[in-house]
Amino acid sequence: MTLPRQTPLILVLCTGNSCRSHMAEGILRAASGGLFRVASAGSKPAGYVHPLSIRALAEIGIDISGHTSKHMDLFLNHPVETVITVCGKADQVCPVYPGQVNRYHWPFDDPAHATGTEDEQMQVFRRVRDEIRRVFEAYARGRIDQAHLR
């Protein structure tokens, strides 16, 4: 995996890299205005992006259908400026990456564990998406404001 190095890389981590981290990646990338690069990975990648995550983001105009589930070790040789973990297990096993300056832990419920009909599961995905959206859009606004002050 080759990533351009001109802008800071923010890595969003969770265990399975199938739901929360992809939703956060998509939302943060959309909100960033190109100020930074965003990627996501997992400590035990599921090997797929959950279809209801793709659907939940599509509902707000963000396409993550091309995302892939990947292991966090793929980024060990990349300068990662900021690591954000979105589940407790990923926070516990998160390595330190080259160039890492910041680390945040913002846990969210795992919508992959939702039960019931597809509509009932989708309600959980929407709730988690909206929670992630509030936090990550606020973070992006803060980073953009900070960059304008420089």
What residues act catalytically? 14, 87, 94
CA distance 28 to 34: 10
User: For residues 140 and 31, is the Cβ–Cβ distance under 8 A?
Assistant: yes
CA distance 92 to 114: 23
The residues, ordered by sequence, that sit 6+ positions from 48 with a Cβ below 8 Å of its Cβ are 18, 69
CA distance 76 to 91: 16
